[in-house]
Every structure is written in C-alpha cells, then in structure tokens.
Structure 1
Amino acid sequence: MRSIGEMARDSGLGVSALRFYDRAGVLVPAWVDPVSGYRWYEPEQLEEARLLARLRRSGMPLADVRLVLASWSGADTDLVRKLLTAHLRRLEQGLSDARGEFSALRALLDHRENVMTPLRIAAVRLSVAAPELAAALDTVRFAVSTDPELPMLCGVLFDIEGESLHVVTTDRYRMAVARAGVAGHDGSRVQVVVPTPLADAMRALLDGEGPVRLRVDGDRVTLETGGRQAAGQCLDHDFPDYRRLLPRVPGRRAVVEVAAFREALESGPVRSGESGAHDLSVLRVEDGGTMTLCPEGVEDPNRVAVNREFLLDALTAGAGDRLIVELDTPTTPIAIRRPDDEGTFSILMPVRLED
C-alpha cells in the first residue's frame, strides 16, 4: 500500500489534489483509516494517478477525466481514443480562436503605442522619509512577479504624483500598493519600474530615520542617503495601469486579529482549486462582521476561495496586529487593508472552486 504522501511524490499530484479527487470520486483510495482518516492506495493505482495528472495538465474537463479513467483498464479503448481526440480538437480550435483575437489585439496595441507617450520626464528630484519608504517597500515586496515572460512585472513601480509616491507590485494573482509622502516634487506624474534587485538594494540602505533623496534621470533612478547610494537602469517596459484594477465598491468588511486569523488559516479546513495545485481557504463574512472559514460541505453563495499561502503572505506584509479584510462576490478580488492607512493595501485574486 502507498501512503498519500508517497502517491503524491510519485504521481505528480499534490496531496491536496489527491484529497480533492477522492472527494470527487475520481481516484478513490483503496483504504481509509477509520480513526485517522489517512488515505492508502494500492500499487496499481499509481498508473491511474499518473494518467490523471497528465489529463489535468492537458486541461481536460473533470467529467471527461472520469470517463477516461473508468475505461482505461477495460476493453473500451475506443471511448478513450474518442475522448482524447475530442479534447485535442477543442484545444486546437481554442488555440486558433485565440490566435485570431491576439492578432487583432496586437494591431490595436501598435496603434496605441504610436499615439501614447510614457509618463517619464528628463529629471525628477525629491526627498522621502526613510522609514516611510522602507515600510512601503516591505509591504509590496511579496507580490513581485518572477515570470520572465512578463518582464514589466518583475520590478516595483514607483508612481510619483503630487506629494505622494505609490509603490506597486503585481504577479497577476495578487497586487500590493503602498504610499509614502514626498517633498520637492513639482506635482507632475512620473512613473518608473525599478528592477527587483535594485529595489532590494534601495531597501537595504533605508536604515535611518531621516529623509533620503530619490532622483530619476530619464531611464536611470538613484537613491542616496548618508553618502551611500543605490542606482541603476529602470526597466524599459510600461507597468499596467494598476488604478483600473482596484475594487470600485468596498465589499463586506471584517476586522481580523492577525495572530488569531493566521492560526485559524494554518490549522483550518482547506480545499483544492480547479488545478488542485494549491491549498485554498474558503472565507465568508458573517452578518455581524466576523470573518470565518467555511468548512467543507457548506454551500454559501457569498463564500470566496483564496490561495492560502498568498493570504498568509498578505497578512505578514500588512505588518499590523489588526487588518481589514474585504470580500464581495466569489469572482471579485479580495482586499486586505490597514485600519489606520487604507491607502496601503493588498489585493488577492479569488480562485474558482471545483464543483
């Protein structure tokens, strides 16, 4: 018999995914310990698990996966071939449709790039309090992308306007925004994307209490303090308009005690998303404004699922004993704010639950 951990290691499916596929009746363990609830699998189930992993990586719908697994070891190989062929045709048609749409989008982008000008000017000089900038960078660092296919997200946006510097990061699944006050700027809006290593080098210099100097010269940015400096080239990419991604209407709000909420998340019930790749926490706000975790089997139209690891990161980045968590619909981003500074916040994308 194989333990669920061994099955996960050898099949390429996560433990949480195996639990989900058990509950869904797709890959049911041979034996479940009636006391501990621990799952055990027969050796021959490893082939089914590997097949299941391949089918899900290919994007096959769960209903078809069930039929393939049910027919795989039997005599009805014709059904398996038909299901695989039908799925491949759907993928090819979807790719063809996507290429057509992307061609149209590229034409629109080419047109926009010819008429738009970047929010950069020849030179900017300003000062900012070191503790404020340090706190802002600490707040957003967790949401920086590492995807080489999206280099414009592999850095920290410095958005300077009026007497404010907003620092912003996103990896598409989460976004973090923090604000620091500035002095000495003429008020015009300027944006630069600071590469992550340079932003980290800047943060390492922010160990004092006084103001530091920030200078932007075209595509070069420099931070100076106490005779030390961190300087380098900005990313030659435009950051997406993060303001369009912000929630327009506040959702249902709950003030959470971070330590207790973290403990509840770490020890509470988890679910699997569509891919089964991540542990999800399912949240809801009670009528009295209390945040709770939905146990499995509870169907609440207002429940919202979120990647548990991302939520724990956002709680840490919030750097407070109490935070505000806002939920709306199951498809609306989740916001995590500070009670004393609602202009500094994180946004997490919800995750679709498997039916």
Structure 2
Amino acid sequence: MESDMRSIGEMGRDSGLGVSALRFYDRAGVLVPAWVDPVTGYRWYAPEQLGEARLLARLRRSGMPLADIRLVLAGWAGGETGLVPRLLDGHLRRLERGLAEAREELSTVRALLGHQETSMTTAPATTTARLTVAGGELAAALDAVRFAAGTDPELSMLGGIHFDIEGGALHLVATDRYRMAVARTSATGHDGGRVQATVPTPLADAMRALLTDGAPARLTVDGDKVELETQGRQVAGQGLGEEFPDYRRLSRLPEGRRLTLDVPALRRALAAQDGEVCVLTLTDTVTVGDDDSTGDRVGVNPAFLLDALAAGEEMLLEYVGPKAPLVLLRRDVEDAFSLLMPVSLEA
C-alpha cells in the first residue's frame, strides 16, 4: 500500500462526503476504494481519487440521481467532453421544472389555507392560567427540551419553548423541525380550559435560572404575558404570540421496538464522528458505525443525537422504521421523550 493513500476518514474529511456516504458509494460501485485491507476490511483511497470524490460531493449536493452521477464520473474520468454537459443540463432542467411545479402546488396550498381560515369558526380560547408547579420538576422538564428549540430567524414561532397547560398537567415542547422534545410536569391551581403560550428561549433560560433550590414556583400566563415567581423572585416577559405546531399530531407514531441505550458509550462514539451524518446499527443494542451485522441501519446527525443524549443518563430508543423519526425515551422525567428525524443514507 502506498504511503500517500488516504484512509476513509481522511477522504471523508477532505472531500466533504463523510464516511457513511463513502461506504454507500463503494457499495453502489460509484467510488470504489483503491485498496481494501483483507483482514480489517478498512478502505484506502489513492491520491487521484480525491478530485473525483470532491466532484461526487458537488453532484450529490445538487440532488443529481445516482444513475446520472455514475455516468458523469465515468465521463469525467475518461475525458468525455460531450456526455457530461448534456447530463448536467438535463439535471438543471429537471430542477427548474420541479421548482415551477412546486411553486404551483404551494400556491394552491396557500389558497386552501386561506379558505380554511375564513370558513372555520372556533370558540373563544382561554388565555389566562395561574398554576403552581414543583420547582425541581419544572427545572428538569426545561432541561429535557431546551436543546431542541429552534434558532432559524425565518421560523420565529419555533424560537422558544411551548407551554401547554391543561387540567393538572403542564407540557413543555420545543422543536426546530429536525427534532422535537416533550416533557410533562404536574401542576395545581388551574381548573379552566387549555392555555398555551410559547416562551422565547431567553425568557425560558431566565426562568430556569430561578429554579435552583427546588422550591414551588407559580406560573402565570395572561394572554401573551408569561411570569414565573419563586422564593420572592420573579421573571416575566412576552410570549412569541405566534401559532406553534400541533406537537400532539407530530408525536403520533406507530409503536416500534424498544432498545436500551448505553448512553456513555454512545456519547463517546458520537463525539469521535467528524461528519454531518453517521450510521447507527440496531441489533439487540445500538452502536455507532456501519458494521457487517444484519441489524437495521439508520442515518442520524451525530451532533443532534448527542444533544438528545445529554438530557438524561437512562434512555431507551424506539425504532419504528428507516424513514420514521427515532424516539428517545427518558426514564427519569415523567412523560419525557424526544424525536429525531433520520438522515437519508442514499444519494
């Protein structure tokens, strides 16, 4: 083996493809390593393959189908000057047609939404609630969901923690579209209807900072105003005042198989990942890496999964299927769970 060959990790870092993508393209016969160790099965790439891998990464980001990628790479490697431009032009035309069709469909959806808003009649919503919660439980619930709060300025309604009060329960919810976390804590003092408010993350963080001694806390929601008081200290501010997604509908999933997670081992393995996608192999356990076992494989964002694992020490993973969200269940916080959208392992 030549000393200047790249390992799969080095090739993934230098090309922008990532290790899981390189493994996929090897199995698909698109970018085959120059040498595979017959003992360990470890892949090694020749120096001249780096340019091909970088080209492949760009084609992948453009959304080009795998069949066309294969032909482009073959033409590029063979010096073909006629086929490759035609393939690129054809892909661009498909993207433009797809964008035009998407605009048309979304315009129809907007019209349907407008019709629905004007035709529906709803009873006046309850907007005021005063309740008491255990400070320690509220702190744990905030910690369980905070990592999933959105930061996209284009989706300001997701930039906070949603407080959903109904009966004797307070649910806290956060989502950034790619993941969602939900936790529940018991509450007393509110006998009215359902009251909801989305608390901006800075205000939610200020609330959490008050909850240091576990003393009972009084939460007041009055329209868009939210206030928390404990031990003679209080913090108050305005809610986001925008409609939050129906988290109950989003979390309605078929029952899957549950696997106990070795949280410390998973954290160590995920911390060693340097790409945006890693592979989980699910057998009787959950491990990081695309091994040769017969278990299910699912792609995840390792940073997102690390965030979810940081929320607890005793956790279960519920696996519904390769396209369904992964469900991470907490054992130490009542009714706490998080959903993590999988990442496609296909080009």
Give the structure-2-normalised TM-score: 0.85
User: Take 1:84 and 1:63, find their aligned partners in 2: how far apart are those partners?
Assistant: 13
User: Take 2:124 and 2:142, find their aligned partners in 1: how far apart are those partners?
Assistant: 21
- Cα 1:16–1:69 change in 2 (3 A) is same
User: Take 1:62 and 1:73, find their aligned partners in 2: how far apart are those partners?
Assistant: 16
Which secondary structure does the structure 2 equivalent of 1:53 belong to?
helix
In structure 2, which of residues 30, 40, 44 is the aligned counterpart of residue 39 of structure 1?
Answer: 44
- Cα 1:11–1:350 change in 2 (3 A) is closer
Q: Which amino acid aligns with 2:207?
A: M
Shift of 1:20: 4.1
- Cα 1:53–1:94 change in 2 (3 A) is same
Matched, 1:167 2:172: yes
| Aligned-residue identity in percent | 59
User: Take 1:132 and 1:217, find their aligned partners in 2: how far apart are those partners?
Assistant: 22
Shift of 1:193: 1.0
Q: Which amino acid aligns with 1:325?
A: L
- Cα 1:146–1:188 change in 2 (3 A) is same
- Cα 1:298–1:93 change in 2 (3 A) is farther
Q: Which amino acid aligns with 2:80?
A: D
1:131-280 matches, within 5 Å, as 131-260=136-265, 262=267, 277-280=276-279
Structure 1, unpaired ranges of 5+:
285-289
What is the Cα-based RMSD across aligned positions, in Å? 3.1
Shift of 1:118: 9.8
User: Take 2:234 and 2:114, find their aligned partners in 1: how far apart are those partners?
Assistant: 38
- Residue 287 of structure 1 corresponds to none
Further displaced range: 150-159 or 21-30? 21-30
- Residue 99 of structure 1 corresponds to 103
Shift of 1:248: 4.0
Q: Which amino acid aligns with 1:278?
A: V
Which secondary structure does the structure 2 equivalent of 1:178 belong to?
strand
User: Take 2:146 and 2:322, find their aligned partners in 1: how far apart are those partners?
Assistant: 26
Shift of 1:280: 2.1
Q: Which amino acid aligns with 2:90?
A: A
User: Take 2:253 and 2:29, find their aligned partners in 1: how far apart are those partners?
Assistant: 40
User: Take 1:236 and 1:119, find their aligned partners in 2: how far apart are those partners?
Assistant: 16
1:62-77 matches, within 5 Å, as 62-77=66-81
User: Take 2:267 and 2:13, find their aligned partners in 1: how far apart are those partners?
Assistant: 28
Matched, 1:310 2:291: no
Which secondary structure does the structure 1 equivalent of 2:203 belong to?
helix
- Cα 1:122–1:263 change in 2 (3 A) is closer
Q: Which amino acid aligns with 1:279?
A: C
Q: Which amino acid aligns with 2:248?
A: R
Shift of 1:137: 0.6
Matched, 1:89 2:93: yes
Asked if structure 1 preserves the Cα contact closer than 8 Å seen for 2:259 and 2:286, the reply is: no
Q: Which amino acid aligns with 1:282?
A: T
- Residue 346 of structure 1 corresponds to 338
Structure 2, unpaired ranges of 5+:
none
User: Take 2:123 and 2:240, find their aligned partners in 1: how far apart are those partners?
Assistant: 13
Shift of 1:253: 2.0
Asked if structure 2 preserves the Cα contact closer than 8 Å seen for 1:137 and 1:167, the reply is: yes
Paired residues, number = 340
Further displaced range: 182-191 or 220-229? 220-229
In structure 1, which of residues 279, 293, 296 is the aligned counterpart of residue 291 of structure 2?
Answer: 296
